[in-house]
Amino acid sequence: MDPLSVLGGVAASAQLLQGLQKTAFGVIELYRGVRDVNDSTKSLHEQLEALQFVMFLLGNEASRIAARSPPPVEHGESMHNVLESAGRTLARLEEIFKDIAQSRKVGAQLRQYLCARSYDVTLRDLRERLVQYVQILNISLATLSS
């Protein structure tokens, strides 16, 4: 990606990026209630925090550069797609964490553990997506910073 495309994408998706930062924060808060349920939930924290952090840095860097020369919006389609996909992933994680947390209210830790086990494959896939989003956004950030 060239810097103009990245900057255009972030500028065109500024509201989406801000919303995703808030959503990521909310998902991290939900995660705290289910993080120790089983192995599939234990390692998500790093990916969630990394995604939130890189979105924060990307937004700050794009704002700093855009203040000097606003980019044309037509360059933003691929960045917008990445951010929308990240948003869907965060929304799915939010649903899963709420379901696991609800199981704690309904029954004991065993029920919560079984609920989390039913999401093992899904959580593994979502974790891998988070890693990919972080990599893509880090590349975009490096492009902007160069």
Find the range with the poorest average confidence among 12-16, 66-70, 86-90. Answer: 66-70
What is the pLDDT at residue 98? 84
Q: How far is CA 88 from CA 129, 130, 131, 141, in A?
A: 11, 11, 14, 21
Predicted pLDDT at 89: 92
Give the pTM.
0.73
pLDDT tens-digit series, residues 80-125: 788 889 999 999 889 888 887 776 665 566 666 666 677 777 888 8
**% residues pLDDT > 70 (the chain):** 64
Buried b (16+ CB within 10 A) or exposed e, 80-118: bebbeebbebbebbbebbeebbebbeeeeeeebbebbee
The pLDDT mean for the chain works out to 76
Q: How far apart are CA 95 and CA 101, in angstroms?
A: 10
How far is C-alpha 82 from the geometric centre of its chain's CA atoms?
10
Q: What pLDDT, in 10s, does the model give residues 31-57?
A: 877 766 666 666 777 888 888 888 888
